[in-house]
Amino acid sequence: MDYHLIIYFLAGVLQDFLLTLNWRFIAKEKAIFAAVLSFAVTIVTMLVLYNILTQLDRQRSMIAIIVYALGIGTGTILGIKTKISSN
């Protein structure tokens, strides 16, 4: 199995986990936490997309995008299930 696919999946999990937490911090009006997470999400997203577009051939890019999207879905579930303090 191509190790890139595992990395893309994990990056997708990380990205949407952080994004979901970001939205939750925005809803709680915790601006500093939301800003830090927004920065992190943008970095992860841009690095993965740049890598997919520049490093992979056409066939592997489509598979990588699908694996990345599966990771994003998983990250959403984990972000929703994670408890954050209400303080």
Residue boundaries of the structural domains of the chain: 3-79
Task: Of 27, 28, 19, 2, give the one whose Cα is nearest residue 74.
Answer: 19
Helix, strand or coil for residue 29? coil
Provide the residue-wise pLDDT of the chain in tens; the chain has 87 residues.
Answer: 578 889 999 999 999 999 999 999 999 999 999 999 999 999 999 998 898 888 877 777 888 889 999 999 999 999 999 887 655
pTM of the full predicted structure?
A: 0.83
Q: How far is CA 5 from CA 10, 11, 27, 37, 56, in A?
A: 9, 10, 33, 24, 11
